[in-house]
Amino acid sequence: MTTIDALLLKIVNFSEPTIEEQIASRDSRVLRSLASSINTHLFITENQSQLLVKILRENSEKIPVFSEEIKTALVTPSWSKTFRRIEQVKKLYIDRDAEQEFVIFIEFTFSSNIRKILQNISEKIENLTTTQTHKRWQAALTESNIVHLYEALAPLEFEIDDTITGHYRTIKSWSKTEIDNQFLITNIIHPNFQKSITADLGIETTIDQNIINDRSMRYQYRVENPKNPGENLVEYMATRSKTKVWIDKKEHELNEVIAGLIQLKRLPLLVVFDTVITNKYFENLELLSAALEKNNIVNRIGVYFRLANDESGKTFNQFIAEKNYNYNLTTDTQVACVSSGKLPKFFLKTAWRPMSVITLDTRMGLRHGKTAVYSNCCDLVIEYAEQPSIMEQTKLNLCR
């Protein structure tokens, strides 16, 4: 009896008519591909054999020259070689990535089911990325990621290394209430905490609820029953859940944003101009200047980049000179302006650090580059634009 693989080779090698002239192009491409695999020493897998049998059964009547031979062979399918075995890999482990940072790796032989599970929990996993083949994924090494990945993949019989298992058991042994209570601001009595708050705000500063809420991310404490966000711009900034927030410039003027930062004691300020939307450099500089002046910020301002001396560039550079926005970066600088594409080296050599960051019309947001890394030192980064950046699609829902 003719084996199925030998029969396939006869069919694809027959030229009058060709297989492409008799059956659907999708099926003919699959048969050609399977024939190529059969001609190698690796042969085909069991799943591929089942696909081959299915296509032959569905198309036997469309291949009249081999119709009867196909029907006979399919009664009891046989093969000339044993099927190729695919090693099933399912591993969850910790290792170093290309930047030599420890991350969590999820490695598995391609499986649409596993891939779907990872996609379903992707919103819960920080920095989840994958290779083009989707056989190896990685995620940030965090407690939350360990718990979510362990609980999603352990039932699928993943080989999970002992380090992750140990971390998971430790994390699950914690009492959420007990841990939360340790970080309640009313329970923190360590003198260094008090010193840090005093150095930040000053002894005579009146500390209202907005400032208490605002500093919770900076100093990693928790506020019991914080006020619901959304009543106004300042309260939204103060009760943010992430370091990055978007403010719609169609709903709020820039001077409102800066006024809110002053109220929250959030100066000095770093302002980032987008290098992509170059035609808005001067427009945004004028907008910033007017907003600063409305808030009585008229000195100790530095714009630390210039444009080429073409028509628009000269206007931009001349405006900086007229407004005296050439203040050297020192510890008493109130506002510093840079472009998103390049951070001057002297920023790394001075003690000046921003208390807040505003990005103007950034399409991609602060995700990559030296300016983005530098801005990560700040726990309040505001995207001020008509739409949220492509990379940061979290919208502020502010009451008008």
3-state SS, one letter per residue, for 293-317: HHCCCCCCEEECCCCCCCHHHHHHH
123-166: per-residue pLDDT in tens? 999 999 987 767 889 999 999 999 999 999 999 999 999 999 99
d(CA 348, CA 363): 26
> So what's the pLDDT on residue 180?
78
CA distance 269 to 357: 6
Cβ proximity of 363 and 390 under 8 Å? yes
**CA gyration radius, the chain:** 31
Q: Does residue 298 register a pLDDT over 90?
A: yes
Structure tokens given for 377: 């030192």
Taking residues 284-297, report their average pLDDT: 97
Contacts from 46-54 at CB under 8 Å and sequence distance 24+? Answer: 46/83, 48/83, 49/4, 49/77, 49/79, 49/83, 52/4, 52/8, 53/4, 53/77
Looking at the predicted structure, is the pLDDT value of residue 399 above 60? no
pLDDT at 260: 96
pLDDT at 398 over 80: no
Residue 249 near residue 382, CB atoms below 8 Å: no
- With a cut of 60, say whether residue 400 has pLDDT above it: no
Per-residue pLDDT of 175-206, as tens digits, reads 888 877 777 777 777 777 767 777 777 766 66
Does residue 397 carry a pLDDT above 50?
Answer: no
The arithmetic mean of pLDDT across residues 85-95, rounded, is 89
What confidence category does residue 363 fall into, taking pLDDT thresholds of 50, 70 and 90?
A: low
Please name which of 315, 287, 290, 321 lies closest in space to residue 303, comparing C-alpha atoms: 321
The pairing of beta strand 136-140 with beta strand 102-108: antiparallel
Please measure the distance between the N-terminal and C-terminal CA atoms of the chain and give it in whole angstroms. 80
Provide the mean pLDDT of the chain. 88
Angle 390-394-395 (CA atoms, 0-180°, nearest 5)?
105
The pLDDT, as a whole number, for residue 14 is 92
User: Furthest-apart CA pair in the chain: how many Å?
Assistant: 97
Which of 350, 352, 361 is closest to 383 using CA atoms?
361
Q: In the predicted model, is pLDDT for residue 367 greater than 70?
A: no
**Residue with tokens 């099933």, as numbered in its chain:** 88
Between the ranges 227-236, 300-309, 383-392, where is the mean pLDDT highest? 300-309
Q: CATH number of the domain at 90-173, please? A: 3.30.780
Whether 229 has a pLDDT exceeding 80, the answer reads: no
The pLDDT tens digits for 23-40 are: 999 999 999 999 999 999
- Tell me 84's DSSP state: P
Q: pLDDT: is 42 or 305 the higher one?
A: 305
d(CA 244, CA 385): 13
β-strand pairing of 244-248 with 381-385: parallel
Confidence of residue 171 (pLDDT cuts 50, 70, 90): very high
The C-alpha torsion from 347 through 238 and 262 to 389, rounded to 10°, is: 50
Domain 90-173 identical in fold to domain 242-385: no
CA distance linking residue 41 with residue 98, whole number of Å = 35
Provide the pLDDT confidence category of residue 395 given band limits of 50, 70 and 90: very low
CA angle 260, 264, 265 (to 5 degrees): 115
> What top-level class would CATH report for the domain 242-385?
alpha beta
**384 Cβ contact partners less than 8 Å away, ≥ 6 residues apart:** 247, 249, 254, 257, 358, 359, 360, 361
Check residue 199 and give its pLDDT.
Answer: 73
Q: Per-domain residue ranges for the chain?
A: 4-75, 90-173, 175-232, 242-385
